[in-house]
Every structure is written in C-alpha cells, then in structure tokens.
A and B are shown apart, each in its own frame.
Chain A
C-alpha cells in the first residue's frame, strides 16, 4: 500500500482574469511541508484549493485519497487554520473549537473534552470562554490552531501559523507540528519567516506568480541549482594556504578570506570536487576545523529562486 499523499495534477485557478495558480503539479508526502513565496504568489490559493474552499478551474486534487469536493469526508481528516481572522459573531473560543467537533459527530461531552484539550495545547484555557472578537491577534491565531487540531486530523493545513505567537508558544507549536509529522501525518504550512521554515520543514515548495518554482527537501532543491555556485564556510588555522590550494581547482569560482584569517568563504560549482579537494588538503597535513554549507537554507533558496520582495 502506498503512503497517502497530497496530489495536485495540472491544477489551475483563476479569479476572473487574475491568475491564482497555474498548472501546478505536486506530490506532497507526509511530514512538514512549507509553502514559501512572496505575497500574492498563490500560497493561500493552494491551501484553499486543498481544503475545498475554492475549486480548480482545471486539473485535479487528491488529499490523502479524498477529493476536496467531498468536504464531509475531507474535513473529518483535515484541520485548516486559515488566515481569516474573524469568527462567527458572539462565539467564544470554546464555541469556536467545539462546534466543529459537534459537527464531526462527537457527543457533547466528548466535544467539550477535546475542545478543552486542544485549547490547553495552545495555552488558551484561561481565555476559552471569552469572545473571539475580544482576542488579540496572537490569541486568535492560537484558537484557530486549536480548532484545526481538535479532531486530531491526519492533514493539517496552516496559513502563517506562527504569526503573532510569542517565542514560548511558537516553540511549543513547532514541537506540535513535529509530533504530528512524526506520526505520518501531513503538516502543510505557509510562512514568511524563512529561518523557521529552515528549522521545521521536511520539504519546501517555492511558489511565485502562481507557479511552482521548486519543491523537495531544501538540500536537494539547492543541489539542483547548478547556476548558483555552492557556498561553504571553512574554519581553519592557515586560511591563506588553504585558499591558495583551493584556487588551483577549476570548480572554485571565488574565495573570500575572513578578517580574522581563520576562515574562508568558498564558492564552488561542484560539491563533489570540493569535497575531494578538502580531503586532499587534510591529507596534506593542513588543519580544517569545520566546513559548513553557507547557502543550503531557505534564505539562500529564496534569494536565488525568487529574489526581491518577501
């Protein structure tokens, strides 16, 4: 049996004449997947398509084997924390979370128990019976998250879930995502904070102008980008000597010696050749203390693939 996936097959969505997403084909395995792209790139459109809030004009979508048009079954296994801030008028945080549970078929007591548990996980127990309209931005974010996780879904879709959270709740939320992912579930989120994307994501999807620019693990995406030399930061005792040895290699395009003369920033067109060269340098008796990839992160990917505005 194949692992459940989120599959987009040649999906397009237009809002009148405005492009939402264009001919998107994706296969998202379980784990934490981050959608990254500038404002208006189509991240929310992709998420709304996944949740069946909007429908594609072309192509097809399968969410762990279910069609988004089958909202009844899809929402049994899906939790979606949208970017929309509003809650039904007069609803308390508890109502907001428990209503979905009641509609999912839980008994009143079971729904109350699960709602309380979900609110506790996002540290909202004390404010549970206050109206959502009176919540701060961070509290609304948390209550939406509580609503999304309350029914223990297999598929979590989260639009900018870390916005407005304080550092402690942020760390707990990231731990929660990891826990979900470790259980073979999907956690699909969008984020502007690239450092966080780096830390939490198993894979990333870069999107710009409604089109998928790259998808996969950050490292493998980076490896595919041959037009941008890889950057490595080397800490060593004799930077000048190592620099001169490296410059003899064809694949090295640039070397910058750091001010303390104990480090180098090396740019290479071939990771493999670079690795071999380093081995040779070490065998020659020169001490290399550490080698760190300097551009195998979301910041670099974003800069290379999308650039400009975030």
Chain B
C-alpha cells in the first residue's frame, strides 16, 4: 500500500463526500451564513447606485457648490447652484399655514428651509433661516475608506468569528456525527481503508466545500463592497493594495476553514453533542485576546485575524467587556500565522486520527 494508492483512496472518499457536504439539507444555513454579508453590501451598493442615477440628472458642479458659503441668501444660492434635488421649504410652509390657523403667535417664527444638492460625488445639505444660509454640510454618498473599515469589521467580527466558525461546525461535525445519525458510517469502515485515510478523505471533502463556500462568500462580499465605489478610486485601489487585500481576505477565510474544520472534525469524533464543543470553542476563541501569550497560540482566530489586511475598527463607546472580547491578540507575522495555524491543525488532526482508529460503529447506543 503505497502513498499514491492511499492518496487515491483519500480522493475517492472525498469525491463521494463532496456531494453530501455541498447538497445536503443541513448545508442550507451554511450558505446563508456565508452569503448573508454579501446581501447587505449588495443592498448598500444598490442604494448608492440608485441615488447616483436619480440625483445625477440634477447634479450641480462641484465648483458651484464650493462657491456657496454660509450667509448667502436663498436667491444667491438658487442662482449659482440651480434647483436643488430636494427642497423641504414648501412642506414646512404648508405645515406652518395649518398651524397658523390655530396659533397666531407662531407667525413671528422665522421661516426655515432645507435644500439638498448633489455634485456627482457628494450630497450637500443647506439649511436656511429667514432666507439666509446658516449651515452647509457635505457628505460623500459613498466613502471608500469607511466602507473598507466596515468590511474589515464585518469580516473579522462576523465572518471569521461567527460565519466560518458555525459554518465549519455544521460541515465538519456532520462528517462523522451526521453519518452516525444516518446509520451510514459503517459503509466507510467496511471499506479496505485505514481510519486515517477515511479521516483525511472526509476532512478534504469538508475543507473543499468550506473553502469554496466561504472564500466565495468573502470574495462576493468584497466585490459587493467595491461595486458602487468611485471608478477612479477603484482603479487606484486595484493598482495598489486591491489584489493583495483580496488575496489575504480569501486566505484568512480559507485558513479559518482549515483551522476550525480540523477542530470540529475532531470534536465530532470525540463528542456526541455538538453544542458543548461549539460553546466551549466559541468562548475560547472569544477570550483569546486577553489570554496569556502562550495560550493565544492555541486559537484559530489568533492566526487568521492577523492575516487580515485592514485592522477591524473598535468602538470606544462599547462596554469594556465587549471591547475586551473583540480586542485582537498581539498579531504574529503572516509567515508565522500560516505555519502556526498549519501546526495547530496538524496537531488536532493527529489527535483526530487517534480517535478514528478507536471509533466503534454502534448505532444502538448512540
């Protein structure tokens, strides 16, 4: 039995398992977890695109908007910037008229007017009081830097910590546990293959599925975040950091699957109830940032978080406990992170291979 033969056995097992992993009913929520953030970013992109299209036909030149200053009269502003895309003064006047009938003292209140302009990239809010501009604020309808920060936060706080975590739980725990529940696991144990080969085949199938689903989810989410951005900014981004960011986000997602996959595969072999390992590992991963340095290294999150190209923003107003839980550990270098994670994975898989050799097929007492 040479290595080539064993590798062929691994692939035979993986190939048959892939269908089960990709298309089982239990995988539905894995897809949901993987693609849910993309839906949010696509929604955001659609909103930006719609605004841009709707307001684009009435856009004012940026130079005209720059020439408007606080203290200018309504007439001056309308003369320089033209008709606004939104003018709420009419509504206010109508409301005022109605109110006047009831309370005559309000006649003395100065008339307020709010106008909104769009200069092709920014939305301008102009507030007038008694016909004079007293407040001018500009907001970009889309902020690339802000969106990248939001993506980093979504990727690290939701995708790595929850989506990949629970996705791998669903995929890898089921590889052995699911077949034990379906009473089909004996099929593999009656084949002339070593337990380690079966483990490797199942791990390979789970890994292929998890990596495809979650890197595709991450890439789609990343694409959805970039989609509505300004083309010039996008072009500059792709010529500088873009490819590397995409690679490292994809690599983080894939390595997250490698790490969590091994952990949950082993957990599925060693424990009957998936809830216990899920809660234990989730807690362990959550407090990783505040653990002693040596223990931090026994965490998947420790390695994959450090590979993310943009650090996730932290909210200073969040409660201390939340900030502690979200605080990243001291990041290792990318090389150390990759090798460290592979080391932890190998260790876990070795333990799993010991367990699979001792595994008994006994559906009756399961």
- For residue B80, CB closer than 8 A to chain A, the reply is no
Pick the contact of B182 from A80, A89, A96, A104 — CB < 8 Å? A89
- For residue A48, CB closer than 8 A to chain B, the reply is yes
Pick the contact of B363 from A18, A84, A88, A90 — CB < 8 Å? A84
- For residue B19, CB closer than 8 A to chain A, the reply is yes
Interchain CB contact under 8 A, B190 and A15? no
Residues of B within 8 A of A95 (CB): 16
- For residue B186, CB closer than 8 A to chain A, the reply is yes
Q: How far is the CA of A90 from the CA of B24 in the complex (A)?
A: 10
Q: Can you name the residue of chain B whose Cβ is closest to the Cβ of A76?
A: B192
- For residue A100, CB closer than 8 A to chain B, the reply is yes
Interchain CB contact under 8 A, A16 and B365? yes
Residues of B within 8 A of A87 (CB): 184, 187
- For residue B364, CB closer than 8 A to chain A, the reply is yes
Pick the contact of B19 from A74, A82, A90, A105 — CB < 8 Å? A90
Residues of B within 8 A of A53 (CB): 186, 189-190, 360-362
- For residue A59, CB closer than 8 A to chain B, the reply is no
Pick the contact of B191 from A18, A54, A82, A100 — CB < 8 Å? A100
Residues of A within 8 A of B23 (CB): 90
Q: Which of B5-13, B117-125, B335-343 contacts A (4 or more CB under 8 A)?
A: B5-13
- With A15-B365, A90-B19: A71-B12 Cβ-Cβ less than 8 Å: no
User: How many B residues, CB 8 Å from partner?
Assistant: 33
Interchain CB contact under 8 A, A72 and B192? yes
User: For chain B residues 116-170, which have a beta carbon within 8 Å of chain A?
Assistant: none
- For residue B193, CB closer than 8 A to chain A, the reply is yes
Q: How far is the CA of A84 from the CA of B194 in the complex (A)?
A: 21
Residues of A within 8 A of B321 (CB): none
- For residue A99, CB closer than 8 A to chain B, the reply is yes
Residues of A within 8 A of B1 (CB): 72
Closest Cβ–Cβ distance, residue B353 to chain A (whole Å) = 13
Closest Cβ–Cβ distance, residue B24 to chain A (whole Å) = 7
Interchain CB contact under 8 A, A51 and B190? yes
Interchain CB contact under 8 A, A88 and B187? yes
Interchain CB contact under 8 A, B183 and A84? yes
User: For chain A residues 32-72, which have a beta carbon within 8 Å of chain B?
Assistant: 48, 51-55, 69, 71-72
User: For chain B residues 310-360, which have a beta carbon within 8 Å of chain A?
Assistant: 357-358, 360
- For residue B20, CB closer than 8 A to chain A, the reply is yes
Q: How far is the CA of A18 from the CA of B362 in the complex (A)?
A: 13
Q: Can you name the residue of chain B whose Cβ is closest to the Cβ of A91?
A: B16
Interchain CB contact under 8 A, A72 and B193? yes
Pick the contact of A90 from B5, B20, B357 — CB < 8 Å? B20
Interchain CB contact under 8 A, A75 and B16? no
Closest Cβ–Cβ distance, residue A11 to chain B (whole Å) = 14
- For residue B84, CB closer than 8 A to chain A, the reply is no
Residues of A within 8 A of B187 (CB): 87-88, 96, 99
Among A71, A90, A96, A104, find the residue whose CB has the most chain B CB atoms closer than 10 A.
A71
Residues of B within 8 A of A90 (CB): 19-20, 23
Interchain CB contact under 8 A, A89 and B184? yes
Pairs across A and B, CB under 8 Å, 10 listed = A15-B365, A53-B189, A71-B195, A72-B193, A75-B193, A76-B192, A88-B20, A88-B184, A103-B192, A105-B8
Known: A51-B190, A86-B184, A90-B19. 11 other contacts (CB 8 A): A15-B365, A48-B362, A84-B183, A86-B183, A88-B179, A88-B184, A88-B187, A90-B20, A99-B12, A103-B13, A103-B192
Binding site for B on A (CB under 8 A): 15-16, 18, 48, 51-55, 69, 71-76, 80, 82, 84-91, 95-96, 99-100, 102-105, 151
Binding site for A on B (CB under 8 A): 1, 5, 8-9, 12-13, 16, 19-20, 23-24, 179, 182-184, 186-187, 189-195, 197, 357-358, 360-365
